[in-house]
Homo-oligomer: A and B are copies of this chain.
Amino acid sequence: MTEHRNASIARDGKSIILAHDHGLEHGPAAFEGVEDRLDPETVFEMATHDAVTALAVQKGLAEQYYPSYDDQVNLLAKCNGSSSLWMGEPYSPQTWSVEYAAELGADAIGYTVYPGTNTEPQMFEDFQEVQEAAREEGLPVAMWSYPRGQAIKEHRKPETIAYATRIGLELGADLVKVKYPRSGDAMAHAVDAAGAADVVLSGGSKTSDYEFLSTVETAMDAGASGLAVGRNVWQRDDPEGILDALEQVVFEERSAEDALDQ
């Protein structure tokens, strides 16, 4: 058997990606109540948890903190991003070249695409170059695939999420990160539409432990290959606890209830 395409950021073909680009995407306001987590070192520490198969951060965090963690943490280089101060048409400009990400030790490349917006053509072209540069470096590519724009009335609609995963497959992503389409059946359809590409659930904003874990359980049952999670881990008082539970649900195939009972 050849190695899994996403092996560098997965365990047994499954991934728990800890995302920490909220400082750029949402700003310090995202840290209200957990101000100590403004210090990226706290989140790099969380990423050393066995459950975490990769940490997704922007270039600046990687430059400043990754050198102390490269033995313990797999780096998913998030190579584009925008601030929430910006009110324009959704677009995520490139903030990190693939070549420099590789030089800093990246194990995979992450890139956001907004299909359906007026910037779709530009983002497809951006992604084309990034994806092929990643191939040059021998790195897998994760697409944050978030349909937006005029035609998208409801962006978690099952058909929209299935289209989102399919776009990832067609354009050459190895792993596609999508919002939860509200049911296990819809998730299974999205996984089917992705073909040979892996699908991971986007963690989204913070919810209760049970609600969060049972969504993950449903997604895993539907064929998802794991999740990318940020606020649902680092906004919690006990990040280690939720990572313990996630590890059970994602890698040990235990139910949310069981995982919480431990």
Contact = CB atoms under 8 A, between A and B. Distances in A.
A45 B64 CA distance: 35
Given A93-B121, A100-B132, A195-B40, A23 B169 contact: yes
B61 A170 contact: yes
Which one of A23, A28, A132 has the highest number of Cβ atoms from chain B below 10 Å of its Cβ? Answer: A28
A63 to B, nearest CB: 6
Given A100-B135, A125-B94, A128-B94, A60 B172 contact: yes
A195 B38 contact: yes
A8 interface: no
Most buried by B among A58, A63, A92, A160: A63
A3 B213 CA distance: 45
Given A60-B170, A61-B170, A85 B120 contact: yes
A97 interface: yes
B91 A121 contact: yes
Given A61-B195, A65-B196, A85 B128 contact: no
A183 interface: no
Interface in A105-134: 115-118, 120-122, 124-125, 127-128, 131-132
B120 A170 contact: no
Per CB-CB distance, the 6 closest pairs between chain A and chain B, nearest first, are A85-B116, A93-B121, A24-B170, A27-B163, A64-B196, A60-B172
A58 to B, nearest CB: 4
Contacts of A58: 170-172
A208 interface: no
A85 B115 contact: yes
A167 interface: yes
A59 B27 contact: no
A97 B132 contact: yes
Interface string A142-157: 0000010111100000
A14 interface: no
A173 to B, nearest CB: 7
